[in-house]
A and B are shown apart, each in its own frame.
Chain A
Amino acid sequence: MKAATWTGVNEVSVEEVPEPQLLNDHDVILKVKQSVTCGSDLHLLGGYIPFMRAGDVLGHEFIGEIVEAGPAVRHRKVGDRVVGAPFAACGNCWYCKQEQYSLCDNGNANPGITEGLWGQSPGGCLGYSHAMGGYAGSHAEYIRVPYADVGTFVVPEGISDTRALFASDAASTGWMGADLAGTKPGDVVAVWGAGGVGQMAARAAMLLGAEQVVVVDRLPERLQQVREHVGAETIDYSSTDVLAELRERTGGRGPDVCIEAVGMEAHSSGAAGVYDQVKQQLRLQTDRPTALREAVMACRKGGSIFTLGVFAAMVDKFPLGALMNKGITLRGAQVHAQRYIPELLERMERGELTTEHLATHVLPLSEAPRGYRMFKEKEDGCVRAVFTPGS
């Protein structure tokens, strides 16, 4: 079959690869209908998470049809149209029972690598490097999904493929950020990053009752989408002093909840930007935490911050003093998609949550290299490139 693979730093190819097989009794094989690029892939692509092997199949946000099911699969059947969760979660360990699915104890067959990095191993993620379990991803005609009763969700008929696709990751990640940061009615919420994840976090905050939601980015077409499709306010950080603006818009308090949806490759200008670039290149820090620093400084006293943006290891000049003295709560997580997908599909069906606008570029799988280039360089207003392997 055809698949989009990582073949080196900043190099995506389309290759002929073997079809996946059922490896465990709880597996299904999906025929992929749509599979989308995610900001997390950019960190892999750029070599910031150095556990990719040339030839690895990318992709972890997808919708497809079940074409084969293992003997232990009870609640899904051949022919079901399903969205898949990015993380492989067994559903039976203590973490899964707490609905912390991305922390599943039994989802990563290579735990030694992540224990080496972080002291403990989170779960495994499809198409996300050998550190995260070495699973082949969804930018392919077929994908194997382990623990399918837990990790796939039947999509109600009324929801289009493209809307449902984003329940897989962008929408569930955004929802998780707003939810686990403790967003409640009356809150002011600021979101850094107007990509798929940031936009969905902003929408979630609104649906959870936030009084005011402000999204920070510099790309005009994305900020435009935020105003038009999400209904939140925006700040263009390239022309506005973000901290001053947020203070002015919040009666001098700062946001109650700050959601960081930018990650380790944050863009920044001026001296701080140069400093971070140099440090990263000299390997004195692995990640550029520009947006996270800003969130710590912006956040109101006693407020909460959630980092949805992916970080790999070390950051420098982290304002821990501000965090501690202002009594801020900082949390982060990889997506517990299994916890949120059912509710998101219901909201999608009711029309409360729309995602189609994120799919700015729908391309055949053969154009994956171009799709990734446009997504990485944010060319032609690309917010997400969606591949359609079946077509």
Chain B
Amino acid sequence: MPLPKILARAAGLATEAGSGALQQLQHLRLPGVGQSSVTDDPDTAARRWRAVTVLADLEQLRAETPEPLARFGDRLEVRVTPAPGGRGAELAARFRSPVTEEELGELRSALREAKQRIETGEVLRNEPQPHGHRKQTPQGEALDGMVERAPKEGVL
């Protein structure tokens, strides 16, 4: 796959403009950093436990699957284990069968949401925010795409 396409996919961008702008951003990155799996084959990557550490009571967390994860029903295995050093509990989940990149993204954001609800009682919102005129530029479009994908992206 040509580089711009890989980059475009990495950020969930479909547009040519988007991948061009992203390519420019590659000088900010170390190769492989920021993806959940770098050298894993796709099957191994899909089967990995994805985990957030939650500063919460272990037993309470075990008693009930947090709502954002419960939404996935039986498709998900959920595991709660103690975190070392008084860090609370490790809340981990993985799909029972192979899924798409999009579904993995849903899981990432569900895990982050679950953690936030337990620790803060709500899910942080950042829209709508006051802003001035949004000029339509290729870089701007690429950034919009990146922001939209950001809750579903990352190393989780």
Chain B: residues with Cβ within 8 Å of the partner, total of: 48
Q: Across the interface, which residues of A come within 8 angstroms of B73, CB to CB?
A: none
- A97 at interface, CB cutoff 8 A: yes
Query: Whole-angstrom distance between the alpha carbons of A133 and B150 in the complex?
Result: 10
Stretch in B59-67, B74-82, B93-101, B129-137 with 4+ CB within 8 Å of A: B129-137
Chain A: residues with Cβ within 8 Å of the partner, total of: 64
Given A26-B120, A110-B147, A112-B152, A105:B115 Cβ within 8 A = yes
Within the complex, the shortest CB–CB distance from B126 to chain A, in Å, comes to: 4
- A289 at interface, CB cutoff 8 A: no
- B15 at interface, CB cutoff 8 A: no
Query: Whole-angstrom distance between the alpha carbons of A147 and B119 in the complex?
Result: 12
Within the complex, the shortest CB–CB distance from B20 to chain A, in Å, comes to: 13
Within the complex, the shortest CB–CB distance from A13 to chain B, in Å, comes to: 7
Q: Across the interface, which residues of A come within 8 angstroms of B149, CB to CB?
A: 112
A120 near B155: Cβ-Cβ < 8 Å: yes
Nearest-neighbor residue (CB-CB) of A108 within chain B: B124
Within the complex, the shortest CB–CB distance from B105 to chain A, in Å, comes to: 9
Q: Across the interface, which residues of B come within 8 angstroms of A25, CB to CB?
A: 121-122
B139 near A50: Cβ-Cβ < 8 Å: yes
Chain A residues 94-124 with CB under 8 Å of chain B are: 94, 97, 105-107, 109-113, 115-121, 124
Q: From DSSP, what is the main secondary structure of chain B's interface residues?
A: loop
Nearest-neighbor residue (CB-CB) of A117 within chain B: B28
Q: Across the interface, which residues of A come within 8 angstroms of B24, CB to CB?
A: 50, 283
Please, what's the 1-or-0 string for A264-308, where 1 marks a CB less than 8 Å from any CB in chain B?
Answer: 000000000000000000011010000000000000000000000
Chain B residues 109-150 with CB under 8 Å of chain A are: 112, 115-116, 119-122, 124-135, 137, 139-140, 143-144, 146-147, 149-150
Given A115-B153, A116-B34, A117-B33, A106:B131 Cβ within 8 A = no
A115 near B129: Cβ-Cβ < 8 Å: no
Partner of B121, one of A7, A72, A144: A72
Within the complex, the shortest CB–CB distance from B68 to chain A, in Å, comes to: 14
Query: Whole-angstrom distance between the alpha carbons of A21 and B108 in the complex?
Result: 27
A residues bordering B, Cβ < 8 Å?
A: 1, 3, 5, 7-8, 13, 15-21, 23-26, 50-57, 72, 88, 90, 92-94, 97, 105-107, 109-113, 115-121, 124, 130, 133-136, 140, 142, 144, 146-147, 283-284, 286, 312-314
Query: Other than the known A118-B34, A283-B27, what 17 A-B pairs have Cβ atoms closer than 8 Å?
Result: A3-B130, A7-B133, A18-B128, A19-B130, A21-B128, A26-B120, A54-B135, A54-B140, A55-B134, A57-B129, A88-B124, A94-B88, A109-B124, A110-B151, A120-B155, A136-B129, A313-B27
